[in-house]
C-alpha cells in the first residue's frame, strides 16, 4: 500500500513540474520563477493572442479583454479554453501549437495583468 501512495505523490509532483504551476510561497526563487513566467507569458501572448485580445492584453472591448473575462474563472477553465478553444466564439484550439508549460505561462501573465489593473480575481486553481 505504501509504494502506491509514494508513486501517486511522485506523479502529482511530476505533473506540477510539467505544467509549471507558479509557486505560491514567498521567497526569492518563487518571485524569480514568477517573473520569468510572466515575461514568457507576455511574449507568448503578444505573439499569439494580441491580434484578438490586444497588445499586452489591453483590448478595450470587454468581449476580448481577457483580464476582465478571466476574473471569475478558474485556472482550469482558462487552461481548458486555450487547449480546446471556444469554437462558438471563434477561438481556435491551441493544443497543437502551445505546450502545457506555455499555457501556464500565459495564465501567470494574465493573472499578473489582473493584479496590475486592480481586478479582484477570486480565481481558483
Digit-coded pLDDT (tens) for 93-116:
999 999 999 999 999 999 888 888
CA-CA distance, 30 to 56, in Å (whole number)? Answer: 23
Note the pLDDT of residue 125. Answer: 53
Residue 24 has pLDDT above 90, yes or no: no
The pLDDT of 20-30, averaged and rounded, is 45
Non-local CB neighbours of 42 within 8 Å, separated by 6+ positions: 56, 109
Cell of 41: 507569458
Q: Of the ranges 16-25, 43-52, 76-85, 112-121, which one carries the lowest mean pLDDT score?
A: 16-25
CA-CA distance, 102 to 114, in Å (whole number)? Answer: 18
Instruction: State the pLDDT confidence band at 67, using cuts at 50, 70 and 90.
Output: confident
Amino acid at each position: 500500500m505504501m509504494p502506491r501512495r509514494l508513486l501517486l505523490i511522485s506523479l502529482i509532483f511530476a505533473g506540477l513540474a510539467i505544467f509549471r504551476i507558479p509557486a505560491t510561497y514567498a521567497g526569492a526563487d518563487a518571485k524569480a520563477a514568477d517573473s520569468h513566467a510572466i515575461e514568457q507569458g507576455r511574449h507568448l501572448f503578444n505573439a499569439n493572442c494580441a491580434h484578438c485580445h490586444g497588445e499586452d492584453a489591453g483590448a478595450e472591448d470587454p468581449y476580448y479583454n481577457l483580464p476582465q473575462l478571466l476574473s471569475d474563472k478558474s485556472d482550469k477553465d482558462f487552461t481548458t479554453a486555450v487547449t480546446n478553444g471556444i469554437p462558438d466564439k471563434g477561438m481556435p484550439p491551441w493544443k497543437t501549437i502551445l505546450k502545457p508549460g506555455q499555457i501556464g505561462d500565459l495564465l501567470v501573465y494574465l493573472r499578473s495583468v489582473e493584479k496590475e489593473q486592480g481586478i479582484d480575481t477570486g480565481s481558483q486553481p
